[in-house]
Amino acid sequence: MSRALAVALLSVMFFIGAQHAVRAADATPDGCAALRKHGKAAEAQACYQKLSQQGDPYLRAEGYWGLGMYRDANDQFRLAVAQSDGNALARVRWGRLLHERFNNADAESLFKEALQRDPKNAQAYLGLALVSADGFDNAAIQWNEKALELDPKFVQAHELMANLALEDSDTAAALKQADQAIGLSSDALDGMAIHAAAEVLADRSPDDWFDKIRRVNPSYGEAYALVAHHLVLNRRYQDGIAYYRKAVELDPELWSARSELGINLMRLGQEDEARRELELCYANGFRDAATVNSLRLLDSYKNFVTFKDGTLILKLQKKEADLLRPYFETVAKQAMATYEKKYKFKLPGPVQVEVYPDHEDFAVRTLGMPGLGALGVTFGAVVAMDSPSGRKAGDFNWASTLWHEMSHVYILTMTNHRVPRWFAEGLAVHEETQASPEWGDRVTPEILVAIRDKKLLPVTDLDRGFVRPEYEAQVIVSYYQAGRICDYIQGRWGADKLLEMAHSFAKVEPTVDVIQQDLGISAGDFDHQFLAWLDADVGKTAANFDQWHKGLKDLAQAAKEHHNEEVIADGQQIRVLYPDYVYDANPYEFLAGAYQAQGNKKEAAAVLTDYEKRGGHDPDTLKELASLEEELGSPGEAAATLDRINDIYPHDEQLHRKLGELWLAQSNFPGAIREYSAVLATHPIDVTSARFELAQAYWAAGQKDKAKENVLEALESAPDYRPAQKLLLQLEDDDKGK
């Protein structure tokens, strides 16, 4: 028997005795809900008990739902709908039950069916808004507006609107909606909670509002959970956890809050407590995707290994740990040294970096967070990110991603998590290109189209572009815009100005004031001047977009038909129209192919070097460039090109063999040792030659013990391997010679 069922049965037994408390006539769904809302748990329970015994299946459904007997409630709703096809109410309420029980797909269908039967059903529109709000879908606002249009006195719709506005950092609009709800109803508890959240976000005391809430319902944990939700959304994870704790303290069976508590503890690396909370939710039937997947992820941690020192905790999956560790450690430490100096701030403790080869595992880390398909995410001093092996080779530059996330670690820690999203993201994007002009995302076609169509948001509204996009590409457009804003500020006012702004934001000053104070211009003027600057940089490319797009199509066709002369003539022109286009089917690759076909290696190398400098990161294309560079007598350039691939996709045995060979020949012994070690870490079929090559690198570096160790390993797997026998003899002769 499930715990929920046991609780339900117990309460049935208890309330048979307490039936006199509620007369049959009192038992209406609204009446029961009001009792619960006012914290009268026992009376509410008795009320729902009554409902569950009514003849009308719809009323029975409400009763079972109130008693937490979800399956019975579901059955009764099904019956109610079957008995009366025109019944919109039963459909709306059934949808709400399913929404509450993690089935948004069927909930949405029911709300839509209800609207077919009753096109003016405000409750059905609210239902659709709630479903959309779960995924930070902009449609939530439109559905909710419909609900309010039909019923301007709809308290819950005003409360939802307030919540959506606060999620978008539009505090003024949020408070206005909350006040409307409070004006309409003395028990608009969520409206009051919005006020409390706004106070907490501004670092003021929310006590007055919580007093008001307590007077209506002393155990209304939802109010604290609502505040916690907004804290987490503003990346104030510790504070969010504290509020979730208060929520479950007041209402221990508020499973949604307990699950969030567990998830946020997990985010901060407090895994034992996280597991306890999540298991408690699971055992009590609260099994939404976030709870179940988080528990699964906690289980999978046994497949990870952790490397720790005073400043870095690196958590890697066992199978790829040996391969990735040296590269990740190097980049993480470089990033930390850079930021420590640049931001004039030393972290109080180590940073934890978790690298997930299974993208689904990483995705669990971002469940319930806004934004689409990110590569990395930072929770205070914990960074979780995709492993390069979790995506298609060349999909992203992991070193650039790690550099980005490390900026968040510093900025969030040093401002006590009080920077707006646009600034944190913009600065992190800006830092990627500061570290290397080849890093960071280029201006993509959808960004160019947004610039051309004048869809960039004013800086004071930019947060909304990250949280609730109005068009599909708005999240990446917003990343780009925020990054360029930081480029612009650094260029015009100097790098320290960005730091000054971070410190101003830390005092919880809004964007509009920070820009006025620190930059000395109004936010409106800032937008104007920034857009003019951006236009000078990419305006022409944006204007060229259609011409480029058509030209690229023709170019691809010409390349397919091997019309090399045409590819070269047109390709050079098309590339100039939009030089940052280094993605699929780019002119650089078509041009290089045409030059190669004509035997013109020099031009092929030149065009691919340009591709490399523009941040092109397809591993095969970069390897092609490296071979050309080697053939043209520049082994140093070839090695540098191959080393770039380590930042992109190090899961490549041949890459490490070739780079090891080049570096050994160039007397870069530490580099050669690292690369031949990486060959071994890829678990090659030919272990013998890998060991032997590593032994050679150690020998060349003067590390004879290591050389001997590896040459003996090589001979163990292949005793007749002549080059290894020879090297062992040399090593032994060398010893004697001493």
Contact between 316 and Zn ion by CB under 5 A: the answer reads no
Q: Which residues in 630-648 are b (16+ Cβ under 10 Å) and which e?
A: beeeebebbbebbbbbbbb
- Whose Cβ is closer to Zn ion: residue 377's or residue 664's? 377
Q: What is the nearest approach in angstroms of Zn ion to the Cβ of residue 168?
A: 18
Question: Min. distance of Cβ 441 from Zn ion in angstroms?
Answer: 12
Footprint of Zn ion on 235-274 (CB under 5 A):
none
Determine phi and psi for 392, rounding to 5 degrees. Answer: -60, 140
Residues 366-425 that bind Zn ion (CB under 5 A): 425
Tokens (6 digits) for 121: 């059903």
Contacts of 662 (CB under 8 A, 6+ apart): 630, 635, 638, 639, 642
Q: How far is the CB of 472 from Zn ion (least distance, A)?
A: 19
Closer to Zn ion by Cβ: residue 428 or 625: 428
Minimum distance, C-beta of residue 2 to Zn ion, in the bound complex (Å):
41
Tell the smallest beta-carbon distance from residue 632 to Zn ion (Å): 39
- Minimum CB separation of residue 475 from Zn ion in Å reads 11
Q: Write the single-letter amino acid at 348.
A: P
Q: Which of 654, 659, 697 is nearest to 675 (CA)?
A: 659
Could you tell me the two tokens for 680? 């071994």
CA angle 80, 82, 84 (to 5 degrees): 70
Rg value, the chain, Cα? 31
CA distance linking residue 498 with residue 119, whole number of Å: 52
> CA 231, CA 233: separation in Å to the nearest integer?
5
Nearer to Zn ion, 168 or 425 (CB): 425
Question: Smaller CB distance to Zn ion: residue 425 or 629?
Answer: 425
- Binding segment toward Zn ion, per CB under 5 A, in 427-435, 483-491, 507-515, 582-590: 427-435
Which of 280, 377 has the CB closer to Zn ion? 377
Size of residue set near Zn ion by CB under 5 A: 2
CA distance 16 to 49: 9
Of the two residues 411 and 489, which places its CB atom closer to Zn ion in the complex?
411
Nearer to Zn ion, 217 or 234 (CB): 234
Q: Which residue pairs, CB below 8 angstroms and at least 24 apart, start in 65-74?
A: 65/97, 66/32, 66/33, 66/36, 67/8, 67/11, 67/12, 68/4, 68/7, 68/8, 69/4, 69/5, 69/8, 70/4, 70/97, 70/101, 70/285, 73/97, 74/98
Q: Specify whether the CB–CB gap between 369 and 136 falls below 8 A.
A: no
Between 261 and 427, whose beta carbon lies closer to Zn ion?
A: 427
Helix (H, G, I), strand (E, B) or coil at 378: strand
Q: How far apart are CA 656 and CA 651, in angstroms?
A: 9
Q: What minimum distance in Å lies between the beta carbon of 575 and Zn ion?
A: 30
Q: For Zn ion, give the closer residue by CB, 386 or 425.
A: 425
Minimum Å gap between C-beta 174 and Zn ion is 24
Bridge partners (DSSP) of residue 354 are 315, 384
Query: CB of residue 167 vs Zn ion: minimum separation in angstroms?
Result: 18
Shortest CB 400 distance to Zn ion, Å: 11
Sequence-ordered strand ranges (E) for 529-606: none
The answer to whether the beta carbons of residues 65 and 47 sit under 8 Å apart is: no
Of 206 and 465, CB closest to Zn ion: 465
Cα 247 to Cα 285: distance, rounded to the nearest angstrom: 19
Q: Which is nearer to Zn ion, 428 or 655 (CB)?
A: 428
Measured from the CB atom, is 417 or 657 closer to Zn ion?
417
At its nearest, how many Å lie between Zn ion and the CB of residue 86? 50
Nearer to Zn ion, 54 or 338 (CB): 338
SS3 522: coil
Residue 648 CB, nearest distance to Zn ion (Å)? 19
CB of 408 to Zn ion, least distance (A): 6
Asked if 160 contacts 229 with a C-beta cutoff of 8 angstroms, the reply is no
* 24/372 with CB nearer Zn ion: 372
Distance between CA atoms of residues 670 and 700, nearest Å: 10
Q: Does 428 bind Zn ion (CB under 5 A)?
A: yes
Q: Which is nearer to Zn ion, 282 or 403 (CB)?
A: 403
**Alpha carbon distances (Å) from 99 to 75, 229, 527, 668:** 16, 18, 41, 61
CA-based torsion, 686, 653, 307, 338: positive or negative: positive
Least distance CB 404 / Zn ion (angstroms): 6
Decide: helix, strand or coil at residue 501.
helix
Q: Determine the Cα–Cα distance for residues 711 and 723; give it in Å rounded to an integer.
A: 10
Residues 6+ apart with CB under 8 A from 552: 574, 581, 585, 587
Q: Cβ distance 399 to 431 under 8 Å?
A: no
Task: Enumerate residues 58-87 that contact Zn ion by CB under 5 A.
Answer: none
Minimum distance, C-beta of residue 366 to Zn ion, in the bound complex (Å): 11
- Contact window for Zn ion (CB under 5 A) among 81-89, 428-436, 498-506, 644-652: 428-436
Q: Which long-range contacts (CB under 8 A, 24 or more apart) does 152-156 make?
A: 153/184, 154/122, 154/126, 155/181, 155/184, 155/185, 155/188, 155/191, 156/126, 156/181, 156/190
Nearer to Zn ion, 416 or 544 (CB): 416
Shorter beta-carbon distance to Zn ion: residue 281 or 428: 428
Q: Is 151 exposed, middle or buried (0-12, 13-18, 19+ CB in 10 A)?
A: middle
- In the complex, the smallest distance separating the C-beta of residue 401 from Zn ion, rounded to whole angstroms, is 9
- Show the tokens assigned to 213: 């809430």
* Nearest distance from C-beta of residue 707 to Zn ion, angstroms: 44
Report the sign of the C-alpha dihedral through residues 329, 331, 334, 338, in that order: negative
694 binds Zn ion (CB under 5 A): no
Q: What are phi and psi of 279, to 5 degrees?
A: -65, -35
**Closer of 425 and 643 to Zn ion (Cβ):** 425
Unique residue bearing structure tokens 């208060």 = 246
What CA–CA distance (Å, rounded) separates 332 from 374? 19
Considering the complex, what minimum distance in angstroms separates the CB of residue 425 from Zn ion?
5
Residues that bind Zn ion (CB under 5 A): 425, 428
